[in-house]
Amino acid sequence: MSLSILADIGGTNTRVALADGTAVREASIARYPNAEYKARGQDIAHILQDYLATTGARPDGVCVAAAGPVQDGVATMTNLDWTMDGAKLSAATGAARVAILNDLQAQGHALGHIAPDHLRNLVPGPVLPDASLLVVGLGTGVNAAPVHGQGAARVVPPSECGHVNMPVRSEEDLRLMRFIEDRLAARGEVPHCGVEEVLAGRGLANLHAFAAQEAGRPTEKTSAEVLEALAAGDPVATHAARLYTRILAQVLADLALIHLPYGGIYLIGGMSRAMTPHFAGFGLTGTFREARRVDLLQKDFSVTVVEDDFAALTGCAAYLEATTG
C-alpha cells in the first residue's frame, strides 16, 4: 500500500499527515503555524521538510490542499505570498507522485470516504448512488462546487460562487443589502453584497450589526461573540442567526436547482458546524423546501454537515490513490 504525505494549508495553520492509501493516520496529524514560517521567509516546502525530519517517513506521494486558486498545477496563497508547484513539493519530500488541489476540491474528493459518525443530516431527502454531489464551504470564505463521478473519474471543478449576489426576496433583505454595501464602502472595499458577506465568518458579524441597527441600538460583535450571545438567548443575536439560516437555505436551494446534486449537498467549514445546532429551530428545512415552479426542492435532495475537521486531508489521500496509474 502506498504511503503519502498530505498537507491542508489554511489561512492560519497548515495541517500535515501521513496516509496509507486512502486512510489518514490520525495519530500522525501535526499543525504548523504559517505566520512563523512566513516570518522566516519559508513556505510549505520547509513545513513538509520539517515534518519528514521529525517522523522519518519516506512517502512516495504528496498532495497539498491550498486555500487559494490552483491553475495549471500551480497554487498561489496570496495572504501568505506562497506559490507552489509539483517540482517544489517533489523536491521537498522526495515523492514521485505529486498533486495540488484547491481546498474545496479536496473536500469534494473526500466525499464517500468520511466515516458516517462524522456526517450529520440536516435536511432529510433521497440520496441516489453515483449521482452528482455538491460541496459547500462556509468558513473564513464561502464557496461551492459540484462533485461529479467516482474514483479516478471524479471531477470537482473550481468555483468562486461565494461572490454571487445575495438573494433579495423581501424589504428586509433590501435594507440588509444596502446596509452591507454601505458598510463595505465605508471601509474602502468594493461595495458588493455577495453571499460571502453574510454567510462567511465575518458574515454573521455583519448580520448582527444590521440586526442591532434595526433594533435601534447599534453595536459591533465578532462572530464568536454573536454565537455566545445566541447561546444566551440574546434577541439581536437570534435575529442575526435567523437571517443567516434563511439566506443560507435560499442559496442552497438555488445551487441545488443549478447543479441537481441528487447524491446530496454537503456543508463543510467552521460556520456550518457552529450553526448546526440552530438550523432546525430557525427553519432551514422549511425555507430550503419552499415551493417553486418545479417541485424538485419539495421532494429531492438532502443536506448534510460534515463534522470531520480533517476531511481535506482525506480528500488529498483519496485523490492520490484514485489517480495512481
Neighbours of 37 (CB within 10 A): 19
The answer to whether residue 149 sits within a structural domain is no
What is this structure's pTM? 0.91
Whether residue 211 is found in the same domain as residue 171: yes
User: How many domains does the structure of the chain reveal?
Assistant: 2
Whether residue 178 is found in the same domain as residue 104: no
Distance CA 2, CA 268 (A): 28
Q: What is the pLDDT of residue 325?
A: 61
The answer to whether residue 129 sits within a structural domain is no
Whether residue 100 is found in the same domain as residue 235: no
The answer to whether residue 179 sits within a structural domain is yes
Whether residue 166 is found in the same domain as residue 262: yes
Please write the tens of the pLDDT for every residue from 218-269: 999 999 999 999 999 999 999 999 999 999 999 999 999 999 999 999 999 9
Name the grid cell of 98.
505529486
Burial of 38 (0-12, 13-18, 19+ CB in 10 A): middle
Distance CA 313, CA 23 (A): 10
Q: Provide the CATH number for the domain around residue 175.
A: 3.40.367.20
The answer to whether residue 124 sits within a structural domain is no
Whether residue 261 is found in the same domain as residue 277: yes
The answer to whether residue 131 sits within a structural domain is no
Chain centroid offset of residue 221 CA: 23
The residue type at 211: A
Whether residue 237 is found in the same domain as residue 317: no
Whether residue 14 is found in the same domain as residue 59: yes
Whether residue 295 is found in the same domain as residue 178: yes
Whether residue 204 is found in the same domain as residue 277: yes
Whether residue 11 is found in the same domain as residue 33: yes
Give me the helices (H) in the chain, please.
34-39, 44-55, 86-93, 103-110, 171-186, 196-199, 201-214, 223-231, 235-259, 270-279, 284-288, 296-299, 311-322
Whether residue 93 is found in the same domain as residue 174: no
The answer to whether residue 145 sits within a structural domain is no
Per-position pLDDT tens, the chain of length 325 = 789 999 999 878 999 999 999 999 999 999 999 999 999 999 999 999 999 999 999 999 999 999 888 888 899 887 788 999 999 999 999 999 999 998 899 999 999 999 999 999 999 999 999 999 999 999 888 999 999 998 878 999 888 889 999 999 999 999 999 999 999 999 999 999 999 999 999 999 999 999 999 999 999 999 999 999 999 999 999 999 999 999 999 999 999 999 999 999 999 999 999 999 999 999 999 999 999 999 999 999 999 999 998 999 999 999 999 988 6
Give residue 167's domain range.
161-306
Whether residue 33 is found in the same domain as residue 111: yes
Distance CA 45, CA 57 (A): 15
The answer to whether residue 142 sits within a structural domain is no
The answer to whether residue 136 sits within a structural domain is no
Q: Provide the CATH number for the domain around residue 95.
A: 3.30.420.40
